[in-house]
Amino acid sequence: MMPAVFEGYLPYLGHRTYYRVVGDLEESLASGRVPLVTLHGGPGSTHNYMELLDCVADDGRAIVSYDQIGCGKSYLEGHPELWDVETWLGELEALVAWLNLRRFHLLGQSWGGMLALTYLTRHVATVGADRGACSVVLSSTLPSSQLWGREQHRMARQLPADEWAALREAEGTGDFSGAAYQRAIDHYMGLHCADLSYGPDAPECLRRPKRSGAESYAVAWGPNELMPTGTLSQWDVTDRLPDIQTPALIISGTDDLCTPLIAKTMFDALPNARWELLEGCRHMCYADDHERYVSLLRAWLDERDEFDGNRS
């Protein structure tokens, strides 16, 4: 039977952040099943696709997801001054405090992984600490915005010549409204991120209409995945990765926006890391190979629960 789902709102910066809990947080902690906090991508992509991981709560582990301020049920626009890493870091810290999460696992996908790494560098968590993150899952994410941009351009050069030319022209002119550009970026994202639409047989959470944070994405990141030009453009924690003792599971796909070079950069620098490369998966590994992804995630969380000493 599906665990109960609780929804609520966190007051934050004079606005409201929507959150969703699958299962019971107190029972999860008491049983030694450390809750999992998921951080969606974007910025501005909403929590919807994280519902694919609801099944991980079937064994009593509570799962927390939320719509970061600026998107989904936490939608906000007309506040460009908010869209930087400090806003979203403060929101995560506020949510952890609001839900009284003494111990938790973190899972960050894409931008969510950047947020997770930022959190860990600010709260240099160690194994066995009384509070904080006891493990992190870095799903199709990155340690450096500029490295990400370079790798996207390297892969985009493999597009048909006319599409690559359309991308370069849009970058040069700053005009991203042309049909040729849109066809090129749609093709690129279809190859490396996700299908542009999901059919009637896809899970409901992937087909559900969502209110994406277009403003937060444009201000914080830029016009597209290839061009980190916003407030996150110089974000880089590569040199801080060796300080993170928290056990880390890196998951990426062979066809991912997170290229093997990006994943290996994290794997090489993190002192307590494991890397799983999933064949045929793009940026949404949990959708492209759901069974394999969930199996990896369940095993990882169970292992880290036991190592953390919280199992009864």
- Each domain of the chain, given as residue ranges in start order, spans 5-145+212-306
Q: What pLDDT shows up at residue 272?
A: 96
Residue type, 292: R
Q: Check whether the bond before 80 is cis (ω within 30° of 0).
A: no
Rounded to two decimals, what is the model's pTM? 0.95
The pLDDT mean for the chain works out to: 94
How many other CB atoms are found less than 10 A from the CB of residue 257?
A: 27
Q: Check whether the bond before 43 is cis (ω within 30° of 0).
A: yes
Q: Is 252 or 2 the better-scoring residue by pLDDT?
A: 252
CATH number for the domain whose boundaries are 5-145+212-306: 3.40.50.1820
- Give how far Cα 139 sits from Cα of 26, 62, 113, 207, 296, Å: 26, 19, 7, 21, 12
Q: Which distant-in-sequence residues (6+ apart) come within 8 Å of 251 by Cβ? A: 137, 138, 139, 140, 275, 276, 278, 285, 293, 296
* Bridge partners (DSSP) listed for residue 8: 19
| Spatial separation of the C-alpha atoms in residues 159 and 70, rounded to whole Å | 32
How many other CB atoms are found less than 10 A from the CB of residue 158?
A: 10
Q: pLDDT digits over 180-197, tens only?
A: 999 999 999 999 998 666
How many other CB atoms are found less than 10 A from the CB of residue 114?
A: 27
Q: pLDDT digits over 228-245, tens only?
A: 999 999 999 999 999 999
- Burial call 192-201: b when 16+ CB within 10 Å, e when fewer: bbbeeeeeee
Give catalytic residues, as residue numbers.
Answer: 110, 256, 283
The helix/strand/coil state of 248 is: strand
Query: Given pLDDT bands bounded at 50, 70 and 90, which one contains residue 129?
Result: low
Total residues found in the chain within this entry? 312
How many other CB atoms are found less than 10 A from the CB of residue 2?
A: 10
Residue type, 197: S
Q: Which distant-in-sequence residues (6+ apart) come within 8 Å of 172 by Cβ? A: none
Q: What pLDDT shows up at residue 276?
A: 98
Instruction: Report, as an integer, the average pLDDT of 274-285.
Output: 97
Query: Given pLDDT bands bounded at 50, 70 and 90, which one contains residue 310?
Result: very low
What is residue 2's DSSP assignment?
Answer: P
